[in-house]
Amino acid sequence: MAVACATASVGCRSCDDKKAGPKRPAPVSVGIEPARAAYVTNNGSDSVSVVDRLGTTVTTVSMDLDPARHEAPHHVAVHAATGRAFVALAYPPEPGKKRDPHAAHGKSEDRGQLLRLDLKTLSVDAERDVDESPGEVILTRDGKKVIVTHYDMKRAMDVAAKGGASPATMFARILVFDAASMSLAGERPLCVAPHGAATTPDDRAVLVACYGSDELAIVDLTKPELPVSRHPLGGTPGVPGVPRYGPYSVAISPNGRVAVVADLESSDLRVFDLDKRAFRSDSDVALGSRAFLPAFADDAAVLVPLQSPDGLARVRVDTRAVEAKVAYEKGECELPHAVRFAKDGRAYVVCEGDHKAPGAILEVDPKTLATKRRWVVGVYPDGIDFGD
């Protein structure tokens, strides 16, 4: 009964009476045209900021649908053609006193939500339940499907603490929704704590970084059962739930020939050949910092945000050369989390900050990495996408 209820609960509140439906706020005019806007999720202040990329204006709209809870909006995917954005609410536990600023990430006890927002007002026009600790939210490139992963490390730790269970019992699900109807189009248990995801240019597959099991999963989106292949990052992975490499995110080159996997625990970048469906031998690039969510500048170069110490690197994937690297001072970009490119070729870095005061967005030169502009947003920003 419990398993059936959990499976059926996507889009259904009858199985979880702890959460009321969103209290949809009155529409607020954002006042920034989507074509020049960047949309930023502020995990720590339960809000979404809209940045005027060609000016100085920042408009912040509350996502605090329930004052008694911490919604923690986590990542955003924008579909400009339909005027909609998709945001996950993670509902994490309150952070403890650990030094790790991400200690609560992946440890939620409550299911999350997927919201669909109107770009001009950021009001909620649809919502669906998802599983605990939603990790990544992306759209297929045609805008027809919304994909949600779940960075559910709590599940992995709970299973490991009991001992003797199959690693498959640690697996969190990948969910695929129809973007227009918000109906569930596909789901399956995937791997241990899947997080970052990227679709191939033809939308036939999605690549997912499996943090808790040190592997890259490739999911076939052309079949309803979502067949999957798994590719270990190296010859000496950690045990499930205790990763040695800790793949956190994945990015695919514009030509669709290679992907890079960014690793937290081994502080490196690994190159995956999509034609051969294998990691390139000796492809890891040591970075000396935890690598978060990178983005390709072109088919050969990728920009990688770094933490501990904080910085940004430009890496050539064919030669493994670090072409440029900058270190960030505390007041400029503390805890760089993600790099993203708008369609006009401009590069942006999401800076988490100290999770207490507002974070920032930087526009950077994609070759020299020099900072060109800076905007202050909400507390703990962690996702960005564009309305162009």
147 within a domain of the structure (yes/no)? yes
272 within a domain of the structure (yes/no)? yes
Type and span of the H or E element at 128: strand 124-132
81 within a domain of the structure (yes/no)? no
Indicate the DSSP class of residue 256: S
30 within a domain of the structure (yes/no)? no
For the chain, what percent of residues have pLDDT higher than 70?
89
349 contacts 40 by C-beta, under 8 angstroms: no
What is the pairing mode between strands 290-291 and 301-307?
A: antiparallel
What span, in angstroms and rounded, lies between the C-alpha atoms of 180 and 157? 36
Whether pLDDT at 9 is above 50:
no
Ramachandran class of 46: left when φ > 0, alpha when ψ lies in -120 to 50, beta otherwise: left
Q: How much is the pLDDT for 93?
A: 77
Q: Smallest Cα–Cα separation from 380: which of 349, 337, 340, 339?
A: 337
pLDDT bracket for residue 8 (50, 70, 90) = very low
pLDDT bracket for residue 100 (50, 70, 90) = very low
C-alpha radius of gyration, the chain, whole number? 19
Whole-number mean pLDDT of the chain? 90
**CATH code, domain with 313:** 2.130.10.10
Please, which residues bridge with residue 37 across strands?
A: 52
Strand order from edge to edge, sheet including 134-139: 134-139, 145-150, 172-178, 184-191
89 within a domain of the structure (yes/no)? no
pTM reported for the whole predicted model: 0.90
What span, in angstroms and rounded, lies between the C-alpha atoms of 85 and 78? 4
What span, in angstroms and rounded, lies between the C-alpha atoms of 208 and 311? 24
Find the domain containing 299 and state its range.
98-111+128-380
What span, in angstroms and rounded, lies between the C-alpha atoms of 45 and 355? 9
372 within a domain of the structure (yes/no)? yes
Whether pLDDT at 377 is above 90:
yes
Whether pLDDT at 198 is above 50:
yes
Q: How much is the pLDDT for 376?
A: 98
Instruction: Report how many domains make up the chain.
Output: 1
Mean pLDDT score, 3-24: 42
Whether pLDDT at 19 is above 70:
no
Indicate the DSSP class of residue 178: E
Please, which residues bridge with residue 115 across strands?
A: 87, 127
274 within a domain of the structure (yes/no)? yes
123 within a domain of the structure (yes/no)? no
Which residue blocks in the chain are alpha helix, DSSP H? Answer: 2-8, 153-162
pLDDT tens per residue across span 132-190: 999 999 999 999 999 999 999 888 888 877 776 788 899 999 999 999 999 999 999 99
Q: How much is the pLDDT for 3?
A: 31
pLDDT tens per residue across span 245-303: 999 999 999 999 999 999 999 999 999 999 999 999 887 999 999 999 999 999 999 99
Task: Mention every residue, 6+ apart, whose C-beta is less than 8 A from residue 166.
Answer: none
